[in-house]
Amino acid sequence: MRKLIALALLAVAGLAHAADDSVYRAFGEKAGINTLMQDFVVRLKADAKIGRFFKDVKSEHLVQQLTDQLCKVSGGPCVYEGAPMAESHRELEIARADFNRLVEVLQDTMDAKGIPFGTQNRMLALLAPMHRDIVTK
């Protein structure tokens, strides 16, 4: 009986988490995330340390993919239709330092948009599991 109750509680907690769109709303929903990603992509491409990874990527496409991805992971109604992270990053030889720099650029972008530190951390926590699929070196 205890196992059944524990499983039921886990299921309810999972549903509550899946239905939690507070991060999505805190970022201004899809329009706010899109505005953030437009600035982020400009900063990524201009970055001396990691810009090389993005030089041949069309900015509009990258903005759209990132917008959909962040929208989905933050609890919004978007559908991410891009390639899985492991597949799209497999051949890029991305080191931990490269990934960390990307996070720094994202934090700088969020700071520039006035997103509170706690809200930033909530989004970063949702994105953190992607690390294992992106770092390949």
Residue ranges covered by each domain of the chain: 21-134
The Cα–Cα gap between 87 and 44 comes to: 21
Helices (H), 20-116: 22-26, 29-46, 59-73, 85-89, 96-112
CATH ID of 21-134, from 1.10.490.10, 1.10.3720.10, 1.20.1440.120, 3.30.470.20:
1.10.490.10
Q: How confident is the model at residue 132 (pLDDT cuts 50, 70, 90)?
A: confident
Work out the mean pLDDT of the chain and round it to a whole number.
85
Residue 118 has pLDDT above 60, yes or no: yes
| Residue with token string 């997103």 | 115
Whether the pLDDT of residue 3 is over 70: the answer is: no
Q: Which helix (H) or strand (E) holds 76?
A: none
pLDDT single digits (tens) 8-49: 444 444 444 445 899 999 999 999 999 999 999 999 999 999
Residue predicted with more confidence, 24 or 89: 24
Taking the model in full, what pTM does it have? 0.81
